[in-house]
Amino acid sequence: MPFFQLVEIVNFNIIRGTVNAEHCANQWKEEKMAKNELKKTGNNFLALENRKGVNRTYMQEQLSGILFVAPSFIGFLVFTLIPVIASLVLSFTEWNFLRGWNAVSFNGLENFKRLFKDDWFLTSYGNNLIFTLGTIPLLIALGLVCAHIVNTYVKAPVAVRVMMFIPYIASVVAISTVWMVLFQPSYGPINNFLMAIGIKQPPGWLTSTKTALLSIMIVYVWQNIGYYLVVFMSGLKAIDFAVYEAASIDGASGVQKFFYITVPLISPTTFFLTTMGIIGSFKVFDQISVMTNGGPGNASSVMAFYIYRTAFENFEMGYANTLAWALFVLIFLVTMIQWRAQKSFAVE
Amino acid sequence: MATGTLKKIDAPTVIYTVLFFFIGISMLIPLVWMISTSFKIEADVFEFPIRWIPKRWNAIENYKEVWGAEYNFGLFYWNSIKVTVLSTFFQVIVSALGAYAFTKITWKGRDTLFILYLATMMIPPQITVVSRFMILQATNLYNSHLGIILMTMLSTYGVFLLRQALIGIPQSLSEAARIDGAGHFRIFWQIMFPLLKPSIATLAILKFVWTWNDYQTPLVFLNKRSLFTIQLGMKQFASESGSYFSLIMAAAVSATIPLVIVFIFSQRYVIDGIASGAVKG
């Protein structure tokens, strides 16, 4: 799906927390203070009630809290917490799902050792990195430059925004199917066009090991650029116009304004989009499942796809979980590096 | 012609406006090609140079085939609507209740639980998918819409989004109501819920589009054809009709265009919702 935030896992508050650390800290303080106050008034209230011999309020608060949080907590418990723990346990086992529960057998670190000898895993892991490094910086740069230009110069920015956003709202499955046909190497419209303008040996796109992943990356950038544009545009609106005016008076050129005002002031949005983008791009699945099935060979396989294949086509549930944790480690490391890098950049 | 009188229409404005309209339109070319091809007869699909308005029309037959008895896109649509609407509706309720509990009620373990919620947000869905599959198998919810709805409606994402909004509503408001003797449920329903409407709209829009376009969840948790959602139905159709590209494009149009039309009419809300979901604190 175009929504790289696969529904369940959007850790956007963590990110937002970091973006707006100060803001968050204040909020936290306010909350703490409010809570203390509430406690005080609550205690007075309790004292009052206690005199009458009733200690109802406190219990009532507890009960209400539990009742209100219960629906989301049950979901969290059943579909997140238990699965995460189960997955960790299963990652140390060998288990063919088709043979039932009795077939679960622990094999220690076997699965993790297997990773290093598994060609599909190594390729998918590397492809994930290539995919992220190839798409996210491009989307950020293009998105920001386009948003800046559309915001400052373009008449009818809403129309441009809508046109560029439509691919994002369209279903990935349908869109991927369309691109698959467009990319068709011998008579597809893209290669027809390339041959018409004189390129004798147009690329094989999805059918060649060299270009399969690249083709998917092109589709991914095409589909997601609208999202980056829209978020950047809305972030740019928040920048005080007076700053630009002051710079104009000082004789700053458009390019200077872009690099010395827009880029630094938009950095919280950039940070948010980079983090979300990285996490999302590591989970890319639909495009690959529809367009190439990981092929040719395993040239365009990525972790999400390989995990799916291992679990639901080969039924190796234990190893699939090992792979999933390997993916987690990769996402975690890359995100940490990006946070470090962007933080030091922001300080400067 | 005096320079400086027509300040608003300067060169960069003209150049960039033209350029970006050109870019915007080029980005839609694949979709235009899809629509155009879905009207053609199979023999004309790869005609080059591309004939955007078909010479030989076959639109009615193509769409009849897609929506007809054998493939039955009508059923896939119904399934998608059912899953998406129910999942979105319950997600909003569950998230609002949870967000209220995390902001307006003081109870033991609140902060610990919230940190736990936060911590698991980093975990990719690939980690939970196998266990979820087993849980649904064990509870007989595999291959049912109920299972999908339960899983997608109970995501913690909504709790975060609405909690953020509720924090912005002053504590004094609910305290005043408390002192006046209102219970939590009344405060929630009569005071907080109306105040939360803009954030709820954002959540509902995001959730609706995600669930509608979700392919992976139904792929893993459904294998009975009569239960397929539109995305799964589309994939199935594409792999079964092999190289009948005009038919495949008719299916792709059916899977894409209705949502795009809804989007064009409500673009302000959708874009603002998505952008504010991302930017605003």
The reported pLDDT for the residue numbered A226 is: 93
Give residue A60's pLDDT band: very low, low, confident or very high (50, 70, 90).
Answer: confident
Would you mind telling me the total number of residues written for chain B in this entry?
281
In order, the DSSP letters of chain B are --TTTTTTS-HHHHHHHHHHHHHHHHHHHHHHHHHHHHTB-GGGTT-SS--SS-SSB-HHHHHHHHHSTTT-HHHHHHHHHHHHHHHHHHHHHHHHHHHHHHHT---TTHHHHHHHHHHHTTS-HHHHHHHHHHHHHHTT-TTSHHHHHHHHHT-THHHHHHHHHHHTS-HHHHHHHHHTT--HHHIIIIIIHHHTHHHHHHHHHHHHHHHHH--HHHHHH---GGG--HHHHHHHHHHHSTT-HHHHHHHHHHHHHHHHHHHHHTHHHHHHHHHHHHH--
User: Is the predicted pLDDT of residue A7 greater than 80, yes or no?
Assistant: no
Q: What CA–CA distance (Å, rounded) separates A227 from A161?
A: 9
**Structure-token match 């064009």, residue found:** B264
pLDDT for res A27 = 55
Report yes or no: B7 at the A interface, CB cutoff 8 Å.
no
Report the C-alpha gap between B184 and B177 in whole angstroms.
Answer: 9
User: Is A20 at the interface with chain B, CB within 8 A?
Assistant: yes
pLDDT in tens, B39-63: 988 888 888 788 888 888 888 888 8
Nearest-CB residue to A69 (from B21, B101, B123): B101
Q: Give the bridge partners for A316, in sequence order.
A: A96
Query: Is the CB of residue A257 less than 8 Å away from at least one CB of chain B?
Result: no
Contact B84, B208 (CB under 8 A): yes
Q: Which two tokens stand for residue A272?
A: 């948010």
Kindly state the DSSP code that residue A316 receives in the 8-state scheme. B
Please compute Rg for chain B using Cα positions. 25
A326 touches B at CB < 8 Å: no
Which residue type is seen at A168? Y
* Tens-place pLDDT, residues A118-136: 999 999 999 999 999 999 9
Count other Cβ atoms within 10 Å, centred on residue B151: 22
Contact B101, A68 (CB under 8 A): yes
What is the predicted pLDDT for the residue at A35? 62
Residue A22, pLDDT > 80, answer: no
Q: Write out pLDDT tens, residues B177-193.
A: 888 878 888 888 888 88
Under 8 Å between Cβ of B41 and B65: no
Mean pLDDT of all residues in B238-252: 87
The number of angstroms, rounded, from the C-alpha of A324 to the middle of its chain's C-alpha atoms is 16
Quick one: closest CA in A to B103, which residue?
A31
B1 to chain A, closest Cα gap in Å: 23
Mean pLDDT of B7-29: 87
- Give CA–CA dist A337/A345, Å, rounded: 12
Answer yes or no: do A312 and B133 touch at CB < 8 A. Answer: yes
Vertex B258 angle, CA B89 and B222, to 5°: 60
Question: Which pLDDT belongs to residue A241?
Answer: 83
Shortest distance between the Cα of B214 and any Cα of chain A, in A, equals 6
In sign, the C-alpha dihedral spanning B178, B182, B184, B190 is negative
Question: In the structure encoding, which two tokens stand for residue A93, read together?
Answer: 């086992």
Which of A1, A42, A226 lies at the smallest CB-CB distance from B210? A1
Collapse the DSSP code of A243 into the 3-class scheme (helix H, G, I; strand E, B; otherwise coil) and give the result. Answer: helix
Q: Which chain B residues have a beta carbon less than 8 Å from that of A179?
A: 30
In order of A99, A107, B223, the CA distances from A95 in angstroms are: 8, 10, 22
Average pLDDT of chain B to the nearest whole number: 86
Distances in Å between the Cα of A201 and the Cα atoms of A196, A258, B38, B206 are 11, 40, 29, 43
Out of B100, B127, B188, closest to residue A328 by CB:
B127
In chain A, which residues have their Cβ closer than 8 Å to the Cβ of B153?
A: 75
Kindly state the tokens that stand for B3. 């320079």
| Cα dihedral value A42, A45, A46, A50, nearest 10 | 180
Mean predicted lDDT score pLDDT of chain A:
83
Predicted ipTM beyond 0.90: no
Residue A164: which of B27, B133, B206 has the nearest Cβ?
Answer: B27
Q: pLDDT band at residue A18, thresholds of 50, 70 and 90?
A: very low
Neighboring chain A residues of B155 at a CB cutoff of 8 Å = 7-8, 75
pLDDT value for A56? 66
> What global pTM score does this model have?
0.85
Mean pLDDT value of segment B229-236: 91
Q: How confident is the model at residue B121 (pLDDT cuts 50, 70, 90)?
A: confident
Q: What was the pLDDT predicted at A279? A: 86
- C-alpha distance from residue B176 to each of A49, A275, B172, B179 (Å): 18, 40, 6, 5
- Residue A6 above 80 pLDDT? no
What secondary structure does DSSP assign to A87-150, as a single string? Answer: HHHHTTEE-BGGG-GGG-EE-TTHHHHHHHH-HHHHHHHHHHHHHHHHHHHHHHHHHHHHHHHH
Q: What are the structure tokens assigned to B54, written together?
A: 């078909």
pLDDT confidence of residue A33: 66
Q: Tell me which residues of chain A, numbers 289 to 318, contact chain B at a CB-CB cutoff of 8 Å.
A: 289-290, 303-304, 307-308, 311-312, 317
**Residue A4 confidence (pLDDT):** 31
Torsions phi, psi for A106 (to 5 deg): -70, 140
- DSSP-based three-state secondary structure for A315: coil
Q: Please give the share of chain A, as a percent, with pLDDT higher than 90.
A: 42
pLDDT in the model for residue B97: 92
